[in-house]
Amino acid sequence: MARRSTSSSTGRPTGTAPSGPRNRTPQPVRLRRRTFGDVVKAFLAFVVLLVLVVGVPGALAVAVGWPLPRSAPSMDWLSQPIDVQTFLNALTVVVWLAWAQFTACVLVEVKAAVSGVGLPGRVPGAGPSQLLARQLVAALLLVGATAASFTPGLSQLGHSLEGNQKGTVATAQATPGILAQQQEQAKSTAAALAEQAGHAAAQAEQGGSTAAHGATKYYRIQPPEGRHHDSLWEIAQRHLGDGRRYKEIYELNKDRIQPDGSRLSEASLIRPGWIMEMPGDAHGGELVENPDAHVSPEVRQQIGDYAQTGDHAQHQHQQHQQHQEQGGGQHAGGDGATAQITVPSQRQSGDTGAPAAHETSAHSSSSSFGLSEALLGAPLLAAGLLAALGRRRRQALWQSALGAVGGRRGMEPPIPAGDAQDVQDALLVGADPEGVRQLDRSLRGLAAALTAESRSLPVVYAAWLSHGDLHLQLAQPAGKPPAPWQLGQDQTFWTLSRADAEHYEDTDAAAPYPGLVSLGTMDDSRLLLNLEAVPGIVSLSGREADRAAVFASVAAELATNGWSDRMTITLVGFGADLTPLAPNRLRHLDDVEALFETMEAETRQRRGALGAADHHSVLTGRTGPAQHTRWAPNLVLLATQPSAEDAVRLAELAADAARLGIGYLVGSERDDLPGAAWAMEITPDGRLLAPLLGLELQAQLLPAVQQRAVVELFVESDPERDPDGPTTTPPFLVDISEQGRPAVYARLVGPYEIIGLDTPDGDRSPLLHEALALLLLHREGVHPRVLSSALWPRGVTEDVRDALLERLRGWLGTDPDGSPRLRADAAGRLTLAKSVVSDLDVLRSLYYEATQGKGVESRAVRGRLLTDALVLVRGPLLADRAEGRYRWLTHEIIDAQLPLLVADIGLALSAFHLEKDRAEKAIEALGAALRTAPEDERLWNELLRATHATGDPDRLRALAADLIARSGARGLPPRTEALLDELLPTWRDGAAATG
């Protein structure tokens, strides 16, 4: 969280200019005395209020008098002409109503300022009027003797108006005048409290120490000052000498009713105006004793009422002190009670839908059966990488098929080996695509609901995924969330249960929070920090290798996540090799100077764009009529330690970043990076610590070994990497002669059938069939954990998995030589014997032999092989699979490979027949291929050529009309149009007539 900027006390040489705001523990605010300017402001505010509240009605009464009719108007009154007096009377009524509204605003603001508790009430429809009244009242009361009691109400200037649900920092930065006034109010508050503490200190000197006489001390939570928000850690640091003693304050005040009616509950925020009872040895100038004659009567009454609720908390405090005396001190940040980022306290039973996190470190490639624990414990990252890898491989296939890259027809995706194979298996096991889909739909559904209610998106600091539920932690209360969302443990949490999230469908709403990124887990809850909402810089300290693992994880997830539309991730000091993951998202800069040049220009551009669109922040642009602009974020990841001068410059650049949708994550060798709003540390054992946020996470990491392997997977799938193209040899070739008849033959292309095995009895039969299909589609071998996660996406114990494998081994049986047909290779991966074959294996082998084997030299052999191959195609892959099963096929690219392979076979057979002018045979072959690959443009174009070869123009025109009807509003592809222009020049006339 943000911290006050104070002078360094570490012995900086005198006369040396400070390099920038220091990220140190705050010191007590210096006493600020009222100046002549304060008196002048107060006097002018008094005059303005007097004129508006008293002068306006007096002037109206004297100049205009009673503006309303003195008797009930008749119908004739409506037909009379409107004279000047009538117009003046109507205008006077409007002025009277405006005066009444403004007067009500003044009364509301004065009441809130005097009570010193919570936010002022909102006068309906009085946004600008209430803001003006608040500023005038604040200026008037700035010199008052009881300024301390006024501050909680005044500190929330501009935050109670509907539609102004921005964070404190964003509001202040957007309006410099308000920022200056808030700073003045905060200083006035500190001065008043310092005066009160001075009186208390004088009394203590006269009557002995406070602790000795048993007097209880209290602290009143301060309003935000700039980017600084008060926290229990800092209060303990200032008044107890050790920030780790914040738990003592928490235990003293836990669950006690605060003056605004809310409570300090586990993992909840503290708020301005709250009262904190302090341990007996607390010291410092901001404390208030009870009773104290120098405190305003209302505040004294609040403290007195609060003190009466402390018996239970005092008992807990005594137990805690005994525990401390016995050496049981706790590490800070364990429960998040004082943090801006807190763990949801209310959890519901249910499956999290994601694997549990495992401990790892940046240097360790710890594994489970050879798989990376770092990726097994990162379900959202793994799902994003797996989806992006699938898209890359499909793109390569289509480029190959369409001839975008020469010599690639029939290309088979490369089979990874070594570390790359282990990482691919870890992605398959660890990925939670359903969790990503649920998160994306939930966030977009929320944005759509808020748009329907004409409400802006609230500022969200973090999201928690806990036991299948989604919790959004807001920067401040934003009212009641739209259904089915509900309020969580307090007003700053919006919660959506897993059951409610499943009802969301896809929507075209813009992604509301694309800057969310996983940092790690805490108490079975996964934290996603919204980098673009942080009011300033997020710093990360620790060893360089450990920091690099965090940066790589953050960059990889941002580049491939499924809950963003588009964004820019700017990498500085690392990540040049990460670009293949998402070339359209990742941007690598060479040094900090290039970063400043780029981001200063973008910051100016974004400020101008927001101003031109009349938006306060990018969140406003993501809802309502302007959501088509998307307002994509730019997230900067700077891994290298900036110099002192660059750090100050970076802090200035990031001051307004949250409002503009720009986030900064900066690596640092120490935890005192200037301008850091939130400071985190990564430890060698893989823990992510943020004491001021109350966080201690098991960090999500992408160590160097796994990072290189992930990049290798993407590079190997790049269709433009090797100009000569990879081999088109299938991964498994079978003997297609009569002597090569298999012992077990599975038909996968079309309805699933198995020849050579008896159907197993019992409920395990579907599982055995599914396991066999998975193994047949991966002749290179399947890791046992990949098989397990495919069959049981929600997880299963090892004994259940091993029992199924034994059944599968027994069902498949052995070859005549006694060797089992289900085997394990040297790496432990499951493989099938060559005697177990699928029709997909035969299909690939027939096409290979026809185009690269025996069919190259013999035309007759080529025709027979292609014809036999096309006969094997009976429909889509596993056409009759049961609903809910074979979900692992979504990770495969076989659904893209099979139509392309069938289309290649159909094209080759058509060309074979057209060589001998057998157009009808060619049309028959193309029709058979189109039943499996109906979207392949190459088949339709070849069908046009074959139909033209028949010499029947009517038949060609009918086919052209059919193609036009199929294309719909999108129109024919350019290649098809060009071919029709060549074969049927009059086709456009027919299309126009049909249209």
Q: Residues 886-914: pLDDT tens digits?
A: 999 988 888 888 998 999 999 999 999 99
**Helices first, then strands: H and E counts in the chain:** 35, 24
Structure confidence at residue 268 as a pLDDT band (50, 70, 90)? very low
Mean pLDDT to the nearest integer, 957-975: 87
Q: What is the pLDDT of residue 46?
A: 81
Strand 744-747 to 836-838 pairing:
parallel
pLDDT over 60 at 762, yes or no: yes
Average pLDDT of every residue of the chain: 77
Q: What is the pLDDT of residue 75?
A: 59
Q: What is the pLDDT of residue 362?
A: 34
Kindly report whether the peptide bond that precedes residue 291 is cis, defined as omega within 30 degrees of 0.
yes
Q: What is the pLDDT of residue 184?
A: 45
pLDDT digits (tens, 9 = 90+) for 208-229: 433 333 467 888 887 766 545 6
| More confidently predicted of 624 and 363 | 624
pLDDT over 60 at 111, yes or no: yes
Share of the chain above pLDDT 90, in %: 37
Structure confidence at residue 53 as a pLDDT band (50, 70, 90)? confident
Mean pLDDT to the nearest integer, 51-72: 73
| More confidently predicted of 489 and 399 | 489
Q: What is the pLDDT of residue 606?
A: 86
The answer to whether the CB of 192 falls within 8 A of the CB of 299 is: no
Structure confidence at residue 986 as a pLDDT band (50, 70, 90)? confident
- Taking the C-alpha atoms of residue 759 and residue 763, their distance in angstroms, rounded to an integer, is 11
The pair of structure tokens assigned to 485 is: 């969302």
pLDDT over 50 at 313, yes or no: no
Structure confidence at residue 656 as a pLDDT band (50, 70, 90)? confident
How much is the CA Rg of the chain, to the nearest whole Å?
Answer: 36
Q: What is the pLDDT of residue 790?
A: 92
CB within 8 A of 549, min separation 6: which ones?
A: 361, 362, 374, 682, 699, 701, 702, 703, 704, 707
Mean pLDDT to the nearest integer, 964-978: 87
Least-confidence region, from 254-258, 401-405, 641-645: 401-405
Q: What is the pLDDT of residue 431?
A: 93
pLDDT over 60 at 857, yes or no: yes
Other Cβ atoms closer than 10 A to 774: 19
The answer to whether the CB of 936 falls within 8 A of the CB of 900 is: yes
Structure confidence at residue 883 as a pLDDT band (50, 70, 90)? confident
- Taking the C-alpha atoms of residue 814 and residue 821, their distance in angstroms, rounded to an integer, is 5
CB within 8 A of 191, min separation 6: which ones?
A: 31, 32, 33, 34, 147
- Long-range CB contacts for residues 24-30, cutoff 8 Å, separation at least 24: 24/672, 25/234, 25/237, 25/238, 25/243, 26/228, 26/234, 26/237, 26/238, 27/238, 28/190, 28/194, 28/238, 28/284, 28/285, 28/286, 29/186, 29/187, 29/190, 29/194, 29/286, 30/190
- Taking the C-alpha atoms of residue 140 and residue 46, their distance in angstroms, rounded to an integer, is 6
pLDDT over 70 at 188, yes or no: no
Mean pLDDT to the nearest integer, 325-334: 35
| More confidently predicted of 351 and 834 | 834
Q: What is the pLDDT of residue 871?
A: 93
- Taking the C-alpha atoms of residue 73 and residue 46, their distance in angstroms, rounded to an integer, is 41
Mean pLDDT to the nearest integer, 806-829: 93
Q: What is the pLDDT of residue 210?
A: 37
| More confidently predicted of 865 and 267 | 865
Least-confidence region, from 96-100, 267-271, 513-517, 681-685: 267-271
Q: If you ran DSSP here, which 8-state letter would residue 736 be given? A: -
CA dihedral 643, 555, 678, 607 (to 10 degrees): 80
pLDDT over 50 at 706, yes or no: yes
- Taking the C-alpha atoms of residue 187 and residue 173, their distance in angstroms, rounded to an integer, is 18
Closest listed residue to residue 462, CA positions, set 548, 383, 540, 520: 520
pLDDT digits (tens, 9 = 90+) for 129-176: 777 877 777 777 655 533 333 333 323 323 332 333 333 333 333 333
Exposure string for 385-400, b = 16+ CB within 10 A, e = fewer: bbbbbbebbbebbeeb
The answer to whether the CB of 259 falls within 8 A of the CB of 118 is: yes
Structure confidence at residue 535 as a pLDDT band (50, 70, 90)? confident
pLDDT over 70 at 500, yes or no: yes
Q: What is the pLDDT of residue 159?
A: 33
Q: What is the pLDDT of residue 122?
A: 66
pLDDT over 70 at 114, yes or no: no
pLDDT over 60 at 404, yes or no: no
Q: What is the pLDDT of residue 411?
A: 55
Compute the half-sphere exposure of residue 162: CA atoms within 13 Å on the CB side of its CA: 11
Mean pLDDT to the nearest integer, 247-271: 75
Q: What is the pLDDT of residue 687?
A: 93
Which residue type, as a one-letter code, is found at position 8? S
CB within 8 A of 879, min separation 6: which ones?
A: 750, 751, 752
pLDDT over 90 at 613, yes or no: no
Mean pLDDT to the nearest integer, 14-24: 36
Ranked by mean pLDDT, the top range of 292-301, 309-318, 333-342, 358-367 is 292-301
Share of the chain above pLDDT 70, in %: 72
